[in-house]
């Protein structure tokens, strides 16, 4: 469903994503992790057509994002980390607008919209202008609009950031259910417990390079230690000298 081959993005002398090659299958919930500035959002922006890669290729459901952008975007839903919405519309008008863009049958989109508004506790504000929404409400509205699209592939940049605990749990359960029904999700998150519990496979990027990819069991086997948490693996792979120094401080009793 998602394939990249040597996907690269440079900004001047800075290589934000360096020869990324991935294959993500149908129904897979893929976690894409990395420190701040590692290249996660740049990767999503290339895969959704918001950025042109410097080199390499990417396909979504077999459609090349550079040469077949309309076909690729027609099967793709995007949840950015920072919501940018039409604030002079109401929440209901915005979701209807998105559903119409994706040519979703009106009766079906209305039913799904109302169900999701209830699940995310924004039904009472559905007919208020978006400008009156809090950040968390905007995130829930945007997530509703993505799900209503019924995309084959979803790109989710920090999907639970800014959500209250109940809504975050609802979002996680809905995403898992959609993937179990065949949708593919490409998700970034800094909450490693979420990635460990939800994702079928995990990729870790650091300084633009993919440094690890696999199931939790495969990642543990690569380190040769059973029972490691994703946090342990992540910090060991990306922390470098800083992580080793922190562990020495802890072992020496400097941090109490």
Q: Give pLDDT, residue 84.
A: 84
Per-residue pLDDT at 134 exceeds 90: yes
Q: Give pLDDT, residue 82.
A: 84
Rounded CA gap, 224 and 213, in Å? Answer: 15
Query: Could you tell me which CATH class the domain 2-216 is placed in?
Result: alpha beta
**Tens digit of each residue's pLDDT (9 = 90 or more) over 14-38:** 999 999 999 999 999 999 999 999 9
Higher pLDDT, 13 or 255: 13
209-214 β-sheet, strand order: 76-79, 153-157, 184-188, 29-33, 201-206, 209-214
Domain map (residue ranges) of the chain: 2-216
Q: How confident is the model at residue 244 (pLDDT cuts 50, 70, 90)?
A: low
Tell me the whole-structure pTM to 2 decimals. 0.88
Per-residue pLDDT at 233 exceeds 60: yes
């Amino acid at each position: 469903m998602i394939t990249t081959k040597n996907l690269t993005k440079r900004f001047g002398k800075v290589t934000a994503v360096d020869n990324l090659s991935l294959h993500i299958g149908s129904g897979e919930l893929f976690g894409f992790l990395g420190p701040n500035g590692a290249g996660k959002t740049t990767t999503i922006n290339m895969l959704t057509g918001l950025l042109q890669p410097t080199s390499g290729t990417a396909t979504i459901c077999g459609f090349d994002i550079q040469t077949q952008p309309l076909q690729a975007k027609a099967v793709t839903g995007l949840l950015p980390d920072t919501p940018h919405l039409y604030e002079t519309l109401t929440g209901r008008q915005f979701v209807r607008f998105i559903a119409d863009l994706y040519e979703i049958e009106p009766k079906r989109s209305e039913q799904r919209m109302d169900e999701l508004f209830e699940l995310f506790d924004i039904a009472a504000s559905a007919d208020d202008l978006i400008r009156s929404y809090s950040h968390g409400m905007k995130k829930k509205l945007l997530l509703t609009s993505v799900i209503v699209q019924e995309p084959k592939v979803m790109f989710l940049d920090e999907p639970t950031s800014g959500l209250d605990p109940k809504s975050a749990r609802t979002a996680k359960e809905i995403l898992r259910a959609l993937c179990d029904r065949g949708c593919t999700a490409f998700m970034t998150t800094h909450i490693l417990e979420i990635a460990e519990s939800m994702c079928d496979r995990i990729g870790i990027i650091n300084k633009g390079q993919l440094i690890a990819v696999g199931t939790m069991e495969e990642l543990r086997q690569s380190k040769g230690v059973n029972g490691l948490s994703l946090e342990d693996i992540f910090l060991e792979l990306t922390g470098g000298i800083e992580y080793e120094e922190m562990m020495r401080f802890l072992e020496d009793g400097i941090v109490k």
